[in-house]
Structure 1
């Protein structure tokens, strides 16, 4: 009797990434996200989530992105510890440190003077979404809104992309106080692209080991 191939394969819920795979993924995802955020900042636009909130603060405070990003994410560590466990917190802290470090290098290693702002904003959000997707799929996050979205997905079944879209929209609205309307509109389009990446590719049950 021939056993169907589907029965020979291990259950999807049993599939786990190795530690080396997780570390490589975090490094890759945070680097791509850092490049995306650098493009967005160069365009003068904002993005959503904690990163978007920090980008707004960089226009008001004389501190670098990495320092503000690390400080803003501290309160969310408590929520992550209670809801997601210590492994998730450690992984997320590592991802935040990597993103902060990579972000501090971008202005020197990737100067973008003269870049088209529309292209930079849209492609930057696309890159940030792809980087975030990689991080989420390896049982980690970039802190802040990511933690809230993951908790909502687990408890209520709400898709991460939709939760983040609602939170990101709030950040974009706040950007109207520091940016002209064309920039706000461009930022809104970029946020839609970023979250579309997550809505399409990060669904409950599709990638169990990341939830």
Structure 2
């Protein structure tokens, strides 16, 4: 369900020509720039990060992450055959897509599963160099968004930023230590 919600959110973004951060954002940007399929780009960009995933998280979470990436990629390829958009407001796509991706990531994170290498790189740099992971990830995402200005109108980039903020707010509000612990009364 997590992969499905992320892929639906990404499908909204792809149909509205919007962008998100991380590896998915890089894959969307390369898709817009080259015309190559998002599905293949998403898998290819993630390949180098699996070694880091095994080292940081262990085999089981790394395998779950690999499966989630493959599933999102496959769903992104199949969904245009399953659903279509006669009209999709870019504002709605930013809000609904960002929310869907946030909830999907929340489900995946809850089960120690991720969707890409940017988080792993940020944590690795924090451990090795001491730079805070949040700032590293913000820098990478800002670079992706800045590069988007070469291929997308500024209004689309602004909507992309708003949608990405919504996605991150869903995660920030709902993904906290202790949030999923049962309490006996």
Which TM bucket (shorter chain)?
Answer: 0.7 to 0.9
1:115-130 equivalences under 5 Å are: 115-130=88-103
Query: Residue 13 of structure 2 contacts residue 94 of structure 2 at CA under 8 Å; is this kept in 1?
Result: yes
1:61 maps to 2:34: yes
1:50 match: 23
Q: Give CA-to-partner distance per residue, 1:158-210, whole Å, 9 cap, x none.
A: 687x76555333321221111111111111111111111111122345458xx
Query: Residue 22 of structure 2 contacts residue 116 of structure 2 at CA under 8 Å; is this kept in 1?
Result: no
Q: Distance in 2 between matches of 1:131 and 1:188?
A: 18
TM-score by length of 1: 0.76
TM-score by length of 2: 0.86
2:119 match: 146
- The one of 77, 82, 89 equivalent to 2:55 is 82
Query: Residue 32 of structure 1 contacts residue 130 of structure 1 at CA under 8 Å; is this kept in 2?
Result: yes
1:87 Cα shift?
Answer: 1.0
RMSD (Å), alpha carbons: 2.5
2:46 match: 73
1:95 match: 68
Q: Distance in 2 between matches of 1:163 and 1:202?
A: 20
Count of matched residue pairs: 179
SS at match of 2:47: helix
**Structure label with greater radius of gyration:** 1
2:151 match: 178
- The one of 71, 80, 85 equivalent to 1:112 is 85
Query: Residue 76 of structure 1 contacts residue 144 of structure 1 at CA under 8 Å; is this kept in 2?
Result: yes
Give ranges in structure 1 of 5+ residues lacking alignment.
1-27
1:113 Cα shift?
Answer: 2.8
Q: Distance in 2 between matches of 1:30 and 1:139?
A: 13
1:44 Cα shift?
Answer: 1.2
Runs of 4+ in 1 over 3 A off after TM superposition: 148-156, 162-167, 204-208
